[in-house]
Amino acid sequence: MNPILGSRGAVVAPHTLASQAGLDILREGGNAIEAAIAVAATLAVVYPHMTGIGGDGFWLLHAPGQDVSSIDACGATGAGVTRALYGELESIPWRGPLAANTVAGTVSGWGAAYDYSRSRWGGRLPFARLLESAIRYANEGFPVTHSQEENTRAKLSDLIDQPGFARTFLNQGQVPVYGERHRFPVLATTLEQLARAGADDFYRGELARQIGADLAAIGSPVTAADLARHHARIKPPLQLRLSGATLYNMAPPTQGLASLLILGIYDRIRQTGWNPDNVAGIHALVEATKQSFLLRDKHVTDPALMNIDPADLLNWKTLDALAAAVPLQHASPWPAPVSDGDTTWIGVVDDAGRAVSMIQSIYFEFGSGVVLPDSGIWWQNRGCCFDLKPGRLRSLEPGRKPFHTLNPAMAALDDGRLLVYGTMGGEGQPQTQAAVFSRYVWGGHNVRSAVAAPRWLLGRTWAEQSTTLKLESRYSPTIIQGLRKLGHPVEVVADFDERMGHAGALVLHPGGWIEGGEDPRSDGSVAAW
């Protein structure tokens, strides 16, 4: 399995139409940020069960000679979102208007990235040009993927009665089937308004007033005033020095800390020959995952409420202690944290060596399941991860940012290569990042085989209750039995199981050429020139 090669730019995304939309922008002279916005907008139409403009987003931005920057485009709970709103409920519903309780930050991320592009990267394409493909597909239609059909069918009983769902996601009352043309004409009108007025219109303009009215009409507690208070933030990312590389990831409220911790722990305990293709390597990475998740769930929440700087959790003393806690001869007990999610990750590299790692999400497949009547936006349910009990790390309060599984990644290797990588998949995101990085950097894989090779998943994802160690069936019986012998509760799943996430990666080499790898579990591709 050979990587896809390019010399002037490359895009990787979980849907081929989105990859092509980004490449079109690069070929017109656009930069990596401009291409990424086009990809993100297109995904918000053609991969609707995975993402949309009613969700949140996070960005990493790299340019030669500049510090890496990040964009936090995470929305907070509305001012009226209190525990009293949920009455006697023990937890926030996963679906419906009361699950749509946080501001959607994705479009603010597009706007912040666009402004950054123009001020720092010489961006010159009109914002409207970046939305053209998305508008065209929303108006004229796009072919339904197997993933969209299967997820619509699987979740229909949960979603059919949610406001606007059937009108938006069914065709004449039926689940749209693979290859059938599907359209979002109401969303197309909203995207056209964004193209005319700019991203800020979503929060403080004509479109914001429409969205506010829509939210009120369907019973969401988020208001137009909540939208007006929201702003994306540009801030430094977290970073960690490893053997031969410096890693970059998102700061809280995301679990980027966990992604860095896993590789930091593994780097301290790994031995020659260990890798994600054998028992010792998988066991070590799984146990590093447990240690990192325990620390994550002790500290990571809305950064305004954290009493410790997350960078302090990446110091050598903490990493040494976590590494020492990893049992090498047996599996440790697992307390089964609960995080799920649906997401799209994209990567872009342009001909000036600038790179974007970006992720956007509506949380569960189709988010809250609620579609706003006159703006056609399906709204995320990220706020259902809040705890209705007071005094907890992630207790529900007005104006609070939710915990996010989202975390785009980059790595600057000491030999001059830049690795841009990421995945969707809830709890699986840090684990898949660890697999891709360790395979490519330490395990002898090329970038494409590092993404496509068999993967594992510890714990829950995609709203499932199972907390087993899931292994794709392409792993040999020797590996499966070896992990069971160590005490891991192994569950064998499909050859290319979508629960393992939709990953992707690009490598920019010092000479300017680019390699890319897409995930065969997705509908994506690498588009390069």
Q: What is the pLDDT of residues 130-180, one digit of tens each?
A: 999 999 999 999 999 999 999 999 999 999 999 999 999 999 999 999 999
Residue 333 lies in a domain: no
pLDDT value at 503 more than 80:
yes
Query: Quick check: 215 and 165 in contact, CB under 8 A?
Result: no
**Percent of the chain at pLDDT above 90?**
91
* Catalytic choice (343, 423, 432, 468): 343
Range 88-112 average pLDDT:
97
pLDDT of residue 464: 55
Q: What is the pLDDT of residues 377-428, one digit of tens each?
A: 999 999 999 999 999 999 999 999 999 888 899 999 999 999 999 987 777 7
Owning domain of residue 51: 23-57+70-234+362-385
Peptide bond connecting 253 to the previous residue in cis, omega within 30 degrees of 0: yes
CA proximity to 502, closest of 177, 147, 256: 147
Distances (CA, A) of 110 to 57, 71, 75, 194, 363: 9, 9, 14, 11, 18
pLDDT, tens only, 47-56: 999 999 999 9
Q: Assess if residue 506 is contained within a domain.
A: no
Nearest to 183 by CA among 141, 143, 133: 141
Average pLDDT of the chain is: 94
Q: How many domains does the chain have?
A: 1
Q: Is residue 367 part of a domain?
A: yes
pLDDT band of residue 461 (cuts 50, 70, 90) is low
Report residue 452 as tokens.
Answer: 């496509």
Task: Inform me whether the pLDDT recorded for 192 exceeds 90.
Answer: yes
Evaluate whether residue 298 is within a structural domain: no
Per-residue model confidence (pLDDT) at position 459: 80
**Contact predicate 182/168, CB 8 Å:** no
Q: Does any domain span residue 151?
A: yes
Catalytic, 343? Answer yes
On whether residue 249 sits in a domain, the answer given is no
Of all residues in the chain, the percent with pLDDT exceeding 70 is: 97
92-114: average pLDDT: 97
Task: Name, in order, each residue with C-beta under 8 angstroms of 323's C-beta and a sequence gap of 6 or more.
Answer: 265, 268, 269, 288, 291
Residue 226 lies in a domain: yes
Of 54-63, 258-267, 403-412, 437-446, least confident by mean pLDDT is 403-412
Residues whose CB is less than 8 angstroms from the CB of residue 335 and which lie 6 or more positions away in sequence, other chains included = 294
Task: Report yes or no on 518 lying in a domain.
Answer: no
Rounded to 5°, angle at Cα 230 from 224 and 232: 145
In this prediction, residue 95 carries a pLDDT of 97
